[in-house]
Amino acid sequence: MKIIRDIEPSDNQKDGAKRSHNNLREVLDSGKMKNCILDSYLSGSYKRDTAIKPLEDVDIIFIIRADAWSSRLISPGPNPMDVLQTFSNAIRYRYPESSLRFQRRSIRLQLNHIDIDIVPAICDSEDTRKIWIPDTEDKKWIVTSPKIHEEITIALNKKLNGCFKPIVKLLKRWNNSLPESVSFKSFALETMATRLFQNISFDSYTSGVLYFFDFIAALGEKLSNYNWKSDYEISLGYFSQKVPDCTGIGGNTIAGISYGRVEKFISHSVRSRDKLIAALNARYTENSIQRINEIFGF
């Protein structure tokens, strides 16, 4: 499908990202930081292969030795801000010409061609797939599991004969084409798709996207074309907006979102569904292609 090829990150973008994250991991494995870091690995949409063009950021998890910091302990590790400050100082020393930005749970290194989010983490003592990452806003460590997210994505993509990742990319392209006041965070959108397609299958990319739009319409209590017997634990109602993390250990991926945004997201889903149905029923191929391009912002 041409539209999927068009949203795939280019080989140059992928190669550039690979060089940059490998270089960062290599230069941090030196000096005093070498004694603080036990391991590192990629996470996020880049690692799960659900990122789309342009490839804007890469996430790196750095597993740390919690006892390498002498600051006040906040179970299971030191003060989150102290850890992020240490990483910030080390990165600034190694990348003096690049911009750095503190984020709630990471440090962002802004390079010319890509951003890299550096996430310090403490490995869970009982399940090595789980990690604890800093939350500077709540001043504590929170549990998450990028490795379990990746396992879920790989298994679901295999179950759907390699079609899950392309569907997610199509939906992300659609989401990115929405006004800023309407779109959801990329990870929340991917979580919704995961919850839906863990429970239903589809026979084409078109039907998969159509099912997603119609499912959102049903969640918003709009007229739907299919008989949805479950909400798969997702709620987009006035009194409850919830898309639970698929691992079962994370929280609500749309926490803090306004109902106004949810309402607009539902309306755009309904509109896109109706456009897609019109495209499928179009008498001429040119009209069909034009309507599909409109849906995905081409």
Res 254 pLDDT > 90: yes
Q: Of the given ranges (11-25, 71-85, 107-121, 214-228), which has the lowest mean pLDDT?
A: 71-85
Range of the domain at 125: 2-144
> 9-50 pLDDT, tens per residue?
999 999 999 999 999 999 999 999 999 999 999 999 999 999
127 & 18 share domain: yes
Lowest mean pLDDT among 62-76, 203-217, 223-237: 62-76
Domain count of the fold of the chain = 2
Q: Nearest CA to 7 among 205, 251, 151?
A: 205
Task: Let me know whether 173 and 86 are in one domain.
Answer: no
Which residue, 125, 144, 163, sits at the end of a domain? 144
Over the range 194-219, which residues count as b (16 or more CB within 10 Å of their CB) and which as e?
A: bbbbbeeebeebeebbbbbbbbbbbb
Shared domain check, 70 and 90: yes
- Are 162 and 139 found together in one domain? no
Pairing label, strands 140-144, 131-135: antiparallel
- Verify that 85 and 166 share a domain, yes or no: no
Of 144, 171, 193, the position where a domain reaches its end is 144
Considering the domain architecture, whether residues 122 and 22 belong to the same structural domain is answered as yes
Q: End of a domain among 110, 144, 178?
A: 144
Q: What is the DSSP string of 244-268?
A: B-TTSSS-BTTTT--HHHHHHHHHH
pLDDT at 112: 93
Residue 252 has a CB neighbour count (10 Å cut-off) of 16
- Cis check: omega of the bond before 179, within 30 degrees of 0: no
Same domain as 163, residue 128: no
pTM summary value: 0.93
Contact between 58 and 20 (Cβ < 8 Å):
yes
Do residues 205 and 157 both lie within one domain? yes
Is residue 67 located within the same domain as residue 137?
yes
In this structure, are residues 91 and 102 in contact, taking their beta carbons and an 8 Å threshold? no
| Domain match, 116 and 186 both | no
Query: Could you read off the pLDDT of 274-293 as tens digits, one per residue?
Result: 999 999 998 777 778 888 88
Q: Residue 220 contacts by C-beta under 8 Å, 6 or more apart in sequence?
A: 236, 262, 263, 266, 267, 269, 270
Q: Counting Cβ atoms within 10 Å, is residue 10 exposed (0-12), middle (13-18) or buried (19+)? A: exposed
